[in-house]
Structure formats: C-alpha cells, structure tokens
Amino acid sequence: MMQLEHRKELKKLKKHEDDKEKPTLDKQEKEMINTKLQQAIHNNLAITIKYYEDKSFKTITGSIKKTDVNKGVIFINDQKIKVENLVGIKLK
C-alpha cells in the first residue's frame, strides 16, 4: 500500500507535468512581433496572438482595442495581455 507522503508527491508531480516553460525570444523575433502589432494597431487589423500565461500557452483572436505603453500591455477582446508574454502573432 502506498504511503500518504508518496501519494502527495505523486499528485504534485502530476499537477506540474503539463507545465510549459516560457520561451526566450531573440531580438529578431521581438522586432517581428512589434512590427506586426504596430501594423495591426494602425490598420485596425484582426490578429491571432499566442502568449504565455500561467505556465501554458494560450491563443486569442480579435482586434486590439487599447494599448498601455507604460505598463507594456495590450487589450484584445477585453482581455489584458502583457507584451512581454507574447510569443507569436499572425495578422488576419
């Protein structure tokens, strides 16, 4: 029979099994994301953004409603996303 400590440890391992690591983007990748963000804002284009949050990757599609350069965030579909968490962007 498994001891209580072993079960707790196995649960903890299982919980973190699906955790993803945030990728490190190089300068060129960051510039490409920035360029596409500017195009989307200036031309009011729909975009699909892939971003990192809560140890996983998420995707959202929509139009940028607002930006806050001082805080480094964009608002898309009423959701606030940190620019530093962006890992990919596609213009629609």
Task: Give ∠ CA 48-38-58 in degrees, rounded to 5.
Answer: 25
CATH number for 26-91: choose from 2.30.30, 1.20.1260, 1.10.10, 2.40.50.
Answer: 2.30.30
Would you give the distance in Å from CA 28 to the centre of its chain? 18
Q: What is the CA radius of gyration of the chain?
A: 18
Chain mean pLDDT for the chain: 87
Q: 52: closest CA among 44, 60, 64, 42?
A: 60
pLDDT, residue 1, reads 47
Output the pTM of the full model. 0.75
Q: For 14-49, how does the pLDDT look when each residue is reduced to its tens digit (9 = 90+)?
A: 666 667 788 888 999 999 999 999 999 999 999 999
Evaluate if residue 78 carries a pLDDT over 50. Answer: yes
Domain extent listing, the chain: 26-91
